[in-house]
Amino acid sequence: MRQTFIAQLEALNNDVIKMGSILELSTNEMILALDNTDTAISKKIIDRDDEIDLLEQQIEKDCINIIAKQQPLASDLRKITSIMKIITDIERIADHCVDISEYIIRLSKLPKVNPPKNLSDMISAMKKMVIGTIDSFVEGNLEKATKVIQADDEVDTYFEKITEELSETMQKDSNMVPQCICYLMIIKYLERMADHATNIAEWITFIVTGDLVIG
């Protein structure tokens, strides 16, 4: 019984890591697609979404089955219930890669404009958080999880800065409005991706320390 349980927990852990790897791939490709307004990559990201959804459903069911059959206690139960939360956030981040890909396709149909000045810095900050959160799960690394939580303010600051810049651009040149709306939505999704990375980091903190701070 105990052996089976350890094997099941390990399989569960590996599935979350697998979900994290797919997310990392989609995040990296989304950044590449955004850099080059690349519709082919965007479509690939959109097509990949089912894979993440199915994996989430499977992990969800596995969690419930393990709880029902193995009746885990204390730290094991904490880990399994946290995984049930973490996979939702992973799936949402992947969803936002899809949402951004759809706006990249819209942008590709409009006259080309320069992307906002601080966009690449915002992307770097968000990417560091998403990768940091996956790493901290794999390693059970509290320090890395804490760094992710602390970095969220930086992404929020970029969001405000870029919104201001897009506002000025639209006021100066009304031809730019449709493209700027696309960028407004894109930075909103980038900001949400960072928020979900923060949520995951909070769940990792809960797994490691038992302290539940959410909200």
Q: Contact with a copy of itself (CB under 8 A): which of 9, 84, 105, 138?
A: 84
Cβ of residue 211: shortest distance to a copy of itself, in angstroms? 10
CB–CB of 193/65 below 8 Å? no
Dihedrals phi, psi of 118, to nearest 5 degrees = -90, 5
Please report whether residue 177 would count as binding a copy of itself according to CB under 8 A.
yes
Max intra-chain CA distance, the chain: 69
Question: Per rule CB under 8 A, is residue 88 in the interface with a copy of itself?
Answer: yes
x/- map, 33-62, a copy of itself, by CB under 8 A:
----------------xx-xxx-xx--xx-
DSSP string, 44-96: HHHHHHHHHHHHHHHHHHHHHHHHHHH---HHHHHHHHHHHHHHHHHHHHHHH
In terms of residues, how long is the chain?
Answer: 215
Asked if residue 160 binds a copy of itself (CB under 8 A), the reply is no
Answer whether 13's CB lies under 8 Å from 80's CB.
no
When binding is defined by CB under 8 A, the residue of 25, 67, 138, 142 that contacts a copy of itself is: 67
Report the interface residues with a copy of itself, using CB under 8 A: 49-50, 52-54, 56-57, 60-61, 63-64, 67-68, 71, 73-74, 77-78, 81, 84-85, 88, 91, 163, 166-167, 170-172, 174-175, 177-178, 181, 184-185, 188, 212-215
